[in-house]
Amino acid sequence: MAGESLANRLHFDNNMMDENNNLSEALWRIYHRPDGPQPWLRHDGNLPWDEPGFSERMLREHLDESHGAASRQTTERKAQIEWLWQKLRLQSGHKLLDVTCGPGLYAVEFAKQGVEVKGIDFSPAAIAYAWQLAERERVNGRCHFHQQDIRQMKVTGNAFDAAILLYGQLAVFRREEAEAILASIRQQLKPGGVLCVELLNPDKIDRSNSQWWFTDDRGLWGDRPFLHLGERFWLPEVQTSVERYYVIHLETGELTHVELCDQSYEPEEMMAMIRQAGFTSVAIHPAWDTLPLYDAGEWIVYLAS
C-alpha cells in the first residue's frame, strides 16, 4: 500500500509539473505575441469549422434558442424565409443552393415548401444534423447536404434557380476568394437565377480596438474550465477586422490560439464584385427591408440576377 501510495503521489506530482509547464509556456506565448496581427495569416484567418470537437460545440450554439449568435432564432428565420421566398421568386419544384448551410435550418424549411435544396458547409457536425433534421421532417428526398469548403465547390452546370449566402459568411474569406466564390455560384445558377448575399453594413462595423476576457466551464472553446483572452484590431488600410482568441484550458495549461478575420465591403464595391462574377442586375436592401430581426439595422442584403 505504501508503495502504491508513493507511485500515485509521484504520478500526481508529474501531472502537476506538466500542467504547470504547459501553463507557463502558454502565458509566455501570450506575453510574446505580436503587437498587431497579419490578416489571413493563421489558419486562413478563420475558425476551425471542420475540427470535430469544435464542430460539435458550434452546432450546440446554432441550436441554442436563447441567442442568435450562430443561427438566428426561429421567429426571425421564419420572417427571413418568407421574405426570401418572394424575393428569390421561388416555387415548388425549384432548386436552391444554400452556401454555408450550417445545420440546415433554412434548407429544410424551404424543402418543406417543395423546393429541392443542396446545402454546403464545412462543419461535419452541422451537416450530420442537417441530414437528421431533413429525415425528421420527412423532406430528406428533397435535401442534399455536403461537407465541403465552399472555396472548392464543384460546379455541375446551371442547375439552380436561386442561391443564398447568409449571415455575413462571405466576409470571412479574402477578397480574391470571395470573388471566386461569387463566380462559382453564378456558374451554378440558371439564366435569370437569383442570388441573395447578406453582409454587414460597413457603417455599422466597430472600428475600435478592444480587449476582453472571461472564464467558463462550458462553451464554444471547450467543456472543461477555461480562460478566454480576446483582442480585436481594426486594420483600416485593408478594411478588415481581426480578432485573436487565446484560450487557456485550466486543467491542463494547454493553449488554443485562433484568429478570425472579417473583410468589410462598401456597397459599391460589393455590387461591382457581384457584377464581375457575371450577374447583370444587383439591388441592395438595407436592414432586411425592416424585417423584425433584432440586429436588422446592421446588415445589407444584396439581390443579384
SS3 call for 161: strand
pLDDT of residue 43: 82
pLDDT of residue 155: 81
Q: Give this prediction's pTM.
A: 0.92
Q: Which fold has domain 63-201+265-304?
A: Rossmann fold (3.40.50)
User: Which parts of the chain sit beneath pLDDT 70?
Assistant: 1-18
149-155 contacts: CB < 8 A, separation 24 or more?
149/50, 149/122, 150/99, 150/100, 150/120, 150/122, 150/181, 151/177, 151/180, 151/181, 153/99, 153/120, 153/181, 153/184, 153/185, 153/188, 155/184, 155/187, 155/188
Quote the distance between the C-alpha of residue 295 and its chain's center: 17
Q: Look-up: residue for cell 421574405?
A: 83
pLDDT of residue 14: 57
Neighbour count for residue 72 (Cβ, 10 Å) = 21
Share of the chain above pLDDT 90, in %: 89
Domain with CATH 3.40.50.150 in the chain: 63-201+265-304
**Residue 122, φ and ψ in degrees, nearest 5:** -85, -10
DSSP character at residue 24: H
pLDDT of residue 115: 98
pLDDT of residue 8: 61
Ramachandran bin of 239, using left for φ above 0, alpha for ψ from -120 to 50, beta for the remaining angles: left
SS3 call for 253: coil
pLDDT of residue 7: 53
